[in-house]
Amino acid sequence: MSGRSPTPQPSADLIEEAAAWLAALDAGTASDAAFATWRDADARHAVAFAEVASTWRDLDALRLVAGERDSLPTAAAAPTRPGRRHVLRAAASVAAVMAVGGGLAYRGEARETISTRVGERRSVAAAPSITLDVNTDSEVRWRAGRPFRLWLERGEMAIRLGRGEQAALCVPAGTFRLAPGRYNARLRGESCELAVITGAITDAASGRLGAGEIALLSGDTLGAVVPRAADLPRVTAWQRDTLMLSGESLDYALAEMNRYLPHKIVIGDPALSRLRLGGTFATTSPAEFLRALHASFGIEATTGRGGGIVLTRA
């Protein structure tokens, strides 16, 4: 006799709740962290979501079959389609959930994921003519389809869409339509800095962002569109493992450089924060950057006990 306890069965109301989560995740309006909190709060939540996800895939298959059927001549009207609640409940009663090692094995979302550690950069061919280049400490999800859908969950990425490709970019600021071209997207809090190297972007209100323009997107709008083609090399410098500075403060420079360093550089003398810097520096190692600070301003770099670096006047 097996000692494994039976899998808890979700109620019809819980099935509806799980369906709402799946729809929100699919639309990019729910965060993965919030979903994980709900899912892990009760084993029945995980079971319900697995059943709904399975049903969702089955309904997609039925929709495709129905589309082929409807293209043929018919002699009688099709029967009335049952309501969504009825379909979900009926399908949930026969959905299979597999238990592996005492836990539930299921695929929560029909998306692929790529993430990077601090200081790491990765590239992936998400589709035959779609390439994603993911910067340090970032996470990106995607799902194939028409249009191709992208979720920038954390950090920064470069997007290359080949001829004939389109993508829907989902960020906290909203969802934006990308035409074939090259783009750079970086999250800044709840907003997204979006640069168009080539191509064009439209938002839900039919706003437009063209090649050579950069905007800070917030509230499902394109925000202030600034034609700053001269800034594009600065925005895309990370793709060459470099940081470009042109008169920015030391505070700003350190915030940018520290994105790539597991052991951070901090200012030990507050007066140093007002210094202005210029030049191009490698992000793969801080040594070149620290040498430049010493040569130009006489700044000493001391390694602390935790591995971090403290900047002080010589």
- Averages of pLDDT over runs of 10 residues in the chain (314 residues) are 50 78 74 78 78 61 46 44 43 36 36 93 93 97 89 96 92 87 93 91 68 78 59 92 94 96 94 93 93 94 88 89
Indicate whether 171 and 222 sit together in one domain.
Answer: yes
Residue 6 within a domain: no
Q: Are 312 and 269 in contact (CB under 8 A)?
A: yes
Indicate whether 164 and 56 sit together in one domain.
Answer: no
Indicate whether 216 and 125 sit together in one domain.
Answer: yes
Indicate whether 296 and 191 sit together in one domain.
Answer: no
Token pair for residue 46? 């995980």
Residue 4 within a domain: no
CB atoms within 10 A of CB 281: 24
**pLDDT for res 222:** 57
Token pair for residue 314? 């010589």
**Packing angle, helices 84-92 and 43-70, rounded to 10:** 120
Residue 295 within a domain: yes
Query: 79, 105, 131: which is the final residue of a domain?
Result: 105
Paired sense of beta strands 242-249 and 213-217, if any = unpaired
- Residues 6+ positions from 85 with CB-CB distance below 8 Å: 12, 16
Indicate whether 58 and 152 sit together in one domain.
Answer: no
Indicate whether 90 and 121 sit together in one domain.
Answer: no
CB atoms within 10 A of CB 110: 15
Indicate whether 225 and 247 sit together in one domain.
Answer: no
**pLDDT for res 226:** 59
Token pair for residue 226? 């600034």
pTM of the model: 0.65
Helices within the chain (DSSP H only)? 12-27, 32-40, 43-70, 84-92, 232-235, 250-258, 287-297
Euclidean distance between CA atoms 166 and 161, whole angstroms: 7
Euclidean distance between CA atoms 212 and 196, whole angstroms: 6
Euclidean distance between CA atoms 205 and 142, whole angstroms: 23
Indicate whether 124 and 184 sit together in one domain.
Answer: yes
Quote the number of domains for the chain: 3
Q: Domain range holding 101?
A: 12-105
Q: What is the CATH number of the domain that holds 247?
A: 3.55.50.30
| DSSP bridge pairs for 153 | none
Euclidean distance between CA atoms 254 and 263, whole angstroms: 12
Tell me how far the alpha carbon of residue 160 is from its chain's centroid.
Answer: 15
Query: 234, 256, 285: which is the final residue of a domain?
Result: 234
Q: Are 95 and 58 in contact (CB under 8 A)?
A: no
